[in-house]
Structure formats: C-alpha cells, structure tokens
Chains A and B, each alone.
Chain A
C-alpha cells in the first residue's frame, strides 16, 4: 500500500475529523505517566513517551463491562448492553498492537468468538507509533516483536521530525490517510535508519525459543519457590499486561434492575481458583506465581502457537517487589537445564 506523509498540522486536522465520527483515544499525560484517554484534538496528547501506564487492551476489553441487563422481576428477559462506538486508537506502540493480535487469537481465533471483545474490535482502527528510544525495560525484539513492528496495526506512523511517515497495513488504515501526499524515497530511508537505531537500543535479554520444551517438565521444580519469594501476589503485572485477559463474571442488582458484568480478574489473587466448597487448588503463592509464568511461556504456546508476552516491560516497571520477568525466565532456564 502507498506510504504517505502526514505533517503535524495534517494529523491535527485528521484527529479532529476522526473525533467527529467516533471516539479517538491517545496517550495523555496524567501526573508523571501517560494513559489512553478520549481526545478531540491532537494538542491533548503526549506521544513522546514510550509506554502508557496501562496497555491499550482496556479499549477492547474494558476493565469493567456490562454484558446484558435484566429487570429483577423478569429475570428471563435479558437486554443486551449498548453497542460500542467506533474508535480510532492513536499512538499504539508496536508491543501493544502485538498484544492485541494475541488477544485476537484468544478471543476470536479458536472456535467460539467472544461477542463482547469482537464487536469492539470490529469498530476499532489501530494507529501505531514507532518507538525511537525504547525504555530500559523494553524487550520486544526478544519475543518476536520490534520497536517498529506492524503486527495488529491498521496504520503505522513514524515520527520523522515534525512530520510522520504513514504506512497503511489494512484498507481501514489506508482510508484514514488516503488524501495525504505520497512519501519520498528519502522519507523511507530515514525511517529505515530510525528503525535500525531503535532495534539496536534493545539489548535482547531472553531467548524464548528453547523455553517451551524446557517448561514442559518445569511443574514440580523447586526453583518456583525461590523465584516467587519476593512476589506479594498483588497482581499489578496482570493488570498492566497487554495480553492478560482473565475476567470474572458477576451479577449486580439494585432497585429492581440488574446487570451481568465482567471485570478483569487476576490469577495472583488467592480466591481466583477457589471453588465454592472452599477448596483451593492454588492456595500457595508460589503456585500462583508459577501459573502466570507458565501461562505466558508454555500453556499459551499450546493454545495459540506463541508466547503471550510481547516485551512491553510494564510488569518489570510496575512490580513493587522488583521482579523482572526476563530474570525470572533466565533463572528458570538455568535451573531446568541443570
């Protein structure tokens, strides 16, 4: 597809146009971090920082979502929740977009489609933004990604200094910039140079290729106790992760009206696996720590054919106990190779 050039002024106009026909979300500065918020003008955004506090997953799989409503007096008459708006998400980093591609596999790639995820996904256009200066916690290239990766995106923008190279990846993405001028050969060369520099800035810290085979026999290894010792099972890693998607379904009723809602859940919580009888197969904190690590690097390989870690580094950044998932994997591999 034809690559185009979008100046900052043009992007401003485009954003204003998108905001008229639907919602636009982009990273916005909040205290000392950024998060995806609804905007109407480019001026509200902060596109300079690498990773938002939470990943973009919440725009497709909200923290709390109404599935359907019912009247308490007529519980059999369910009324589906309102259809979501169309939305453009601007400034999605490649790791987050890859995370959405992984979520696509979970929610709609294996038999039964998750209605609530899919209807948001169908109405969403993802506009990515290449990373020039990855953070010291970033390791996307170690898990198959790249700071300028296009997976999951509809359009990728690369900041060439006051103007953006726009690479359409889908028809939806192409339609967003169809009236913009074509990019020149020197624009493409500039982007390639920036991409190489960003790639080089990431020191590849783990090798996940041999991991799956090793993890097949990792279940009863005593290393889990040691690795999980600092973990307080707070679940921060699961909430900031672009691919974690555990949820709980519950009913809420108030004044004769009820709703079935689903809410993000975390496998680190002690009640997560608890049966109604009180029996709890993952009562031990180390069992919950193991569950998450194994899920990321082994179980999902069976399920969707790839590790469900995209190297965004958020869990490293947010962990109150200083646990580094790369270090966990490294120590695990050392213990398993022994």
Chain B
C-alpha cells in the first residue's frame, strides 16, 4: 500500500532571491513528481513540518521543479535558512489541474497579485510551451512596490514571446517606475479580449481576488470561465484532515483552483 503521507527526498539545486522576502528554490526530487499546472505539492522542511506550494515551473520539464516561496511562517522561515545541496521532502501532486483542453483556441487573461504570480507561472509556461493551441495570452500583474515584483529578470523575456501581452502595476512607485501605479485592477479598465469567450485565471491575496473577480464579471466574463486559486490551509493534501474546507469543497482535492460558478453561492468566499 503506497503511503500518501511519505515525502520523497529532494535536493535544493539553486535558489534565486526574487524580492527581499520571496525566493525561488529549484528542487530535484529523487523520483519525479508528475504534477500538472494548477496542482500543488506538500513541501517538507525537516523538523519544521510541511506547507503546500504550487510548483512555479513548467510541467513539461519535471526532473527538477521550481517553487517560489514567501518567507511568512515557521516552515518557510526554516526553509530560507537552507542552502543549495540541502535536503527537503516533497509529496504530491495533489488537487486538480487547469483544464487546458478547455482553454484551447481562446484568449487567456491571467491576473496575478504579489507572490500569487508563482503558481500562475507554471500555467503561463505550460501555455507558452504549446502556444499554437491558444489565441493570445494576457498577463496582468500587480505588486506592492517595484522591489516586490517577482520574476523581474524573466518578465522582459516573456514579453518578447509572440501572442503574449504583459502589463504591470505597483501600488507604490519609485522614481524609476514607468508603468501604471495602482492596485492591479487599474490594469483592467480595458480588457483587450472577447470577454464572453475568453478564459480568466486569477491568483493573489483574497482581497485582490475579490475585486479582480468582480471586475471580470462586470466586464462580461462567464462565471465558469473564471478560474480562481482558492488557496486555503491545506495540510494533508488528500482530503482527510479537512482544514481546507471551503463550503462543500475540500480545496486540496476539489481545488485549489475553482471557478467562480463553483463558489458563487458561498457566503463571502473571499473572506
């Protein structure tokens, strides 16, 4: 009987500081973890426990995978003390993937906030890998300040990809910032795709998701076409511990990505 709670040993190959408190870890697991964009992995920091993260690298290359993590709790603080060569554990994949077959032939409008761009990167890279299958890919990303933007070194490269359109905003600018200033919804006043037949994908803090979702609905997006990363306190990953309960859903099994149609009847799903 395979044990879903037993992590696979993984080695930290390299790290990259994205912002003062967000770092990308490249991990090499002893056995491949067959994740698809949208699914998550429970990462073990030995002695400090586990935390759920969605890989931020493409599922078309899985011998190693990236995780972009914000230093915020006990396990992540301990993780930030680890160096390349150190060992961690990983188990998964858990949850549901993005139904990419439903995205084919459509415009895809991705909205990220803060470290919420991390799981969206896995989706973005998967889409770009088979760019011929999709119409255009729009990425709208907001961070607090220019220093808080993740993947600063990658964004200019992504912008060069044909059919990809990227725009950024920061809540608070500095003297060098040339783009928009404001919360991410300020990038959404004009949505350059056909809302009725496009896919929207959102990940960010709950308050950001709430307002972005409303903006998308107001613009005419269909509730079943808005994919929201409903990250909750997922502990076991296999629908047993029940911490991640969101109305009738256990987000670790039914999510973490749910459509607006799935959650619209819940009382205040973004609280």
Contact = CB atoms under 8 A, between A and B. Distances in A.
Contacts of B236: 247, 249
A2 interface: no
Interface residues of B, number: 44
A295 B240 contact: no
A291 interface: yes
B47 A258 contact: yes
B91 to A, nearest CB: 11
B154 interface: no
A248 B49 CA distance: 10
Contacts of B248: 298-299, 302
A250 interface: yes
Interface string A265-297: 101000011111101010000000001000100
Interface string B255-271: 00000000001110001
Chain A contact-residue range equals 35 or more
A251 B48 contact: yes
A76 B89 contact: yes
A276 B46 contact: no
B66 interface: no
Given A248-B241, A249-B49, A276-B73, A219 B265 contact: yes
Contacts of B44: 75, 251
Interface stretch (A109-117, A146-154, A196-204): A109-117
A276 B76 contact: yes
A265 B241 contact: yes
Nearest to B87: A76
A330 to B, nearest CB: 22
Given A76-B87, A112-B4, A276-B72, A251 B246 contact: no
B72 A245 contact: no
A75 B87 contact: yes
Most buried by A among B7, B235, B240: B240
A281 B232 contact: yes
B163 to A, nearest CB: 34
A112 B246 CA distance: 20
A274 B242 CA distance: 13
B9 to A, nearest CB: 3
B87 A299 contact: no
Contact of A72 (B46, B238, B243, B271): B46
A265 B243 contact: yes
Contacts of A267: 242, 245
Nearest to B78: A251
Contact of A247 (B48, B241, B265): B241
A299 B245 contact: yes
A67 interface: yes
Contacts of A72: 46-47
B46 A258 contact: yes
A115 B91 CA distance: 15
B271 A281 contact: yes
Most buried by A among B5, B49, B73, B242: B242
Interface string B186-224: 000000000000000000011000000000000000000
A64 interface: no
A18 interface: no
B1 interface: yes
Given A247-B236, A298-B248, 16 more contacts: A75-B88, A77-B9, A78-B6, A80-B3, A107-B240, A112-B238, A113-B1, A114-B238, A115-B5, A249-B49, A249-B50, A265-B241, A273-B232, A276-B51, A299-B245, A302-B248
Interface of A: 67-68, 70, 72, 75-78, 80, 106-107, 110, 112-116, 118-119, 219-220, 245-251, 253, 258, 260, 262, 265, 267, 272-277, 279, 281, 291, 295, 298-299, 302-303
